[in-house]
Structure 1
Amino acid sequence: MDEENSLGERFFEVYPAGNLFIPAPHGRLEAILKEPRPQTRGAALVLHPHPQHGGTMHNKVVFRAARGLEDAGFATLRINFRGVGQSTGEYGYGIGEQEDARVALDFLADRYAALPLIVAGFSFGSRVGLEVGLRDDRVRALIAIGTPVNMYDFSFLRACRKPILFVHGELDEFGSVESLRSLVAELPLEAHAQLRVVPGVGHFFDDKVDEVRRIIAAWAARQGAEQVVSPPV
């Protein structure tokens, strides 16, 4: 659940030029903003796993998911939820973390007012991101990685009308593929829901985390192209 292991990757993650703090009702959110060059096609918020189980914005799956979005031309914002790293506040039992996600989306919407927004999350971050992104009209698409369907109620997704991508390990300990397939089958046709299963790995994707990056990059590139050709009305 740590950030990238090599010294170079670790240095890049801890001290990048894109470090910033975003004002929040409880004080501030620590964040990392990355803007692709030469063109930004959209912006994405990427949310981390459970704060009480070591989850941070430096988690390797979160990092690779963000890189995939950047590969597709999206600016990415990763935040530390309240009480994590240099973010102020205390763990909010999912409710407070939803507020943090909304604060981060306000930041992205102000900075990239003319561009489509995506919300992505891993594990606990997927539960937070899906609920917030579903209800926010500024968000055009959703990504759920390692969706813990065995731990949380995701029935609210039956109201989803936005494109949604699920990326899941075949051997995920916190959400069986069968349960996730059942959930996806219940979603409205308008969601254009896609489920990509990475074979032979569990919740943390083990040595196939780069496959997560590639899946997300390909899917997000299509979303960005569709928004350019047919912008939302």
Structure 2
Amino acid sequence: MSRPAPTESVLLRGGAGAIDALIDSPATVRGIAVVCHPHPLYGGANTNKVAHTLARSLRDLGYAVVRPNFRGVGRSEGTHDHGNGETEDILAVLGWAQSRWGSLPLALGGFSFGGFVQCRVANRLAGSLTPVQRLALVGMAAGSAADGARQYDTPALPEGLSSLIVHGEADDTVPLANVLDWARPQELPVVVVPGADHFFHGKLHIIRELIARNWTPL
């Protein structure tokens, strides 16, 4: 069995300048995925453990996975734009990935603020020639954050999208009730991990197992 390629570091181009990104590729690329990290103003970066777990899990399903840093993080240029410029940047990253690997099946993964951005991206691509087929959201940002400092008007997901929504029972950053309120009118199941906090300390293996159990390799 061929081994995955080593993690690759690249600089891409976005609306605010350079986008600093990591790439995890399987031996044979059968799909394209982008994984987004948590809030950049609160220490979020593409090396975050949850984002890393999502990337490796999707790679193991056959996706070439790009993990960009949001604006102002690492070598990414620009300043935080509350999800607007970040959405445009992820669309630019996807366009670059398609120019490299072709029109392959698309998947998205997002943790916290990254999940909020990915919901916007999925809606932008709905009805296009290459809509998103799979979406993994962990510690989803919806409604008002527990500290009251941030408010997320997270859009509903497009129809026909295979989604996996995972939230910690003990999340003290985004209350579980917020995510249930967002998911309820859409009739979206939410997997609740007992005892898990927002960062899934000691529970990352559960995220890996859920992805492997719910989605078959490409």
**Shared topology, TM-score over 0.5?**
yes
Tell me how far 1:147 sits from its aligned partner. 0.7
Distance 1:153 1:117 in 2: 24
For residues 157 and 122 of structure 2, the distance between their equivalents in structure 1, rounded to whole angstroms, comes to 14
For the residue of structure 1 that corresponds to 2:156, the secondary structure is: helix
Residue 160 of structure 1: how far off its partner (Å): 3.9
**Structure 2, unpaired ranges of 5+:** 1-5, 145-151
Residue type at the aligned position of 1:19: S
Q: Find out whether 1:143 has 2:132 as its counterpart.
A: no
Report the count of equivalent residues.
202
Contact conserved, 1:150 with 1:174, CA < 8 A, in 2?
no
Q: Which residue of 2 aligns with 1:24?
A: 14
Amino acid at match of 1:47: C
Contact 1:159–1:187, Cα closer than 8 Å, also in 2: no
More helix, by proportion: 1
C-alpha separation between the residues in 1 aligned to 2:29 and 2:215?
12
Deviations 1:88-126 (A, max 9, x none): 111112111111111111112222323101111100000
CA shift, 1:17, in A, is: 5.0
Residue 220 (structure 1) shift: 3.5
Q: Cα offset for 1:211?
A: 1.2
The alignment status of 1:197 with 2:186, answered yes or no, reads: no
Q: 2:55 aligns with which of 66, 82, 91?
A: 66
* Structure 1 equivalent of residue 173 of structure 2: 174
1:212 and 2:207 aligned = yes
* Structure 1: gaps spanning 5 or more residues: 1-15, 225-233
With over 3 angstroms needed to count, the CA separation of the structure-2 counterparts of 1:65 and 1:23, relative to structure 1, is: same
Conserved 8 A contact 1:27-1:88: yes
Q: 1:134·1:162 contact (CA, 8 Å) conserved in 2?
A: no
Alignment of 1:42 with 2:35, yes or no, is: no
SS at match of 2:216: helix
TM-score calculated relative to the size of structure 1: 0.80
Q: Distance in 1 between matches of 2:98 and 2:167?
A: 28
Match of 2:153 in 1: 153
Q: CA RMSD in A?
A: 1.9
Change (3 A) 1:83 1:115: same
